[in-house]
Structure 1
Amino acid sequence: MPAVPLPAFDDNYIWCLRDEQGAWLVVDPGQAAPVLAFGRDQGCAPAAILLTHHHGDHVGGVDELLAHWPGVPVFGPDDARLPAASRPLQGGQCLQIGPWAVQVIDVAGHTRSHLAYLAADHLFCGDALFSLGCGRMFEGTPAQMLASLDRLAALPAHTRVCCGHEYTLANAAFALAVEPHNAALQHRLKEAQAMRASHRPSLPSTIGSELECNPFLRTAQASVARAVSGRTPSHGNRVAVFAALRGWKDGFAA
């Protein structure tokens, strides 16, 4: 069954994954209230809580959820800033949580311990990868962030990208500044505009769509390298292209 995005704060999504027998898990509950309401509809506690990184808008609801559902395991990065994570993880691990085989992926860059989770063809990537964008590098280097994105880009094209924020339209403005003639990107923008106009999430995306449209997954493309050529002497160096692209985005105003 498709994962369900629960809106939180201004633009966050908390993701809930269900199976046909009624089991469910929750990813990055920054607020408790939307998850408690979802749980009432399910009639049972979640099988697990998964955390991608330590930022408050992704973990702020955990304590309240545990007060309501004591004993639910909390999986997250092995990081002292995540004391609620009773089951600390490292990238490369594989878990069995209820009916789901969960692959843990190291995506350091936004934070040094950021993890993503692949379960039932859904990629829960927090603030590492966004539709048409990627997270800011608060704690990592361009080389780390690019390596993390490369790991995600190598996943099957049909993988659903379930990221932590509704940033698609804002990211599209930047992506079009980089590749104004990208037909797939123009189509994705129209699709996202229609979704948001009808008050629907623009997510999940897919890895296949991101490979066609997201400039941060397209640093090997000549069109992206040309767009940043005036900003860095990259000489075909993808790390330099990525660093220039991220720096451009950090100061971009549509």
Structure 2
Amino acid sequence: MGILSIEDLSINFGGLVAVDHVSFEVKRGEILSIIGPNGSGKTTIFNLISGIYKPTTGKILFKDKLINGMKPHNVAFMGIARTFQNVRLFKQMTVLENVLVGHHPKVKSLFIDDLFHTSKQRKEEVMIREQAIKLLDLFHLKQYIDEKAENLPYGDQRRLEIVRALASEPEIMLLDEPAAGMNPQETEDLIRLIGQIKDLGITIVLVEHDMKVVMDISQRIIVLDYGKKIAEGVPEEIRKNERVIEAYLGKD
């Protein structure tokens, strides 16, 4: 069953067609990767889904609800979380504080509760803190709980960004090049982390250049080139697809 449907999606920036009539469906609970050469439209699709850009044409449906042009915070509230190519942590805040910020889309207390610091708000604060600590423990970051985010090794900063996104209790996560800049050991740790997220029942859409990561964890792969979808299938099909090979290596 599809949790996210992309239907005939396009976006133009002046005379540039960045995404050109792309359609695909994301199945609930799967890991779907979107790959392609630089400039093929991968991150632009994430920006469209997450509400940063509004499509020129086409539809984006999350659980059968149209989310075209919805504000990013509303998209997050609905259950879509994302990370970015470049780490976007609050560097001067602690690891725990970063994860607490991630809980914000799911906070239920009202302004009046915040103003008077009611028992309802205090209970919610305790619950959110406990949940944040559990996430940090689950993903092996608890030892850094009071450390400033900027002091973490790069791989752990990447991990923290993913945990912060998880704190919003999403149904689907968009991971934009999470392995970028990682060494081989950090990449192996990332592969295990993504597997853990899937085991939590969260659907994952991955944009990634590291083909080992893509081939190891993806159940299906979408391939873009110059904004168009040129292939879709399981990893073994994509590995042998002549159009994909041509897009990456060029014609003889």
Work out which of the two has the higher radius of gyration on C-alpha atoms and give 1 or 2.
Answer: 2
Q: TM-score, normalised by structure 1?
A: 0.35
Q: TM-score, normalised by structure 2?
A: 0.35
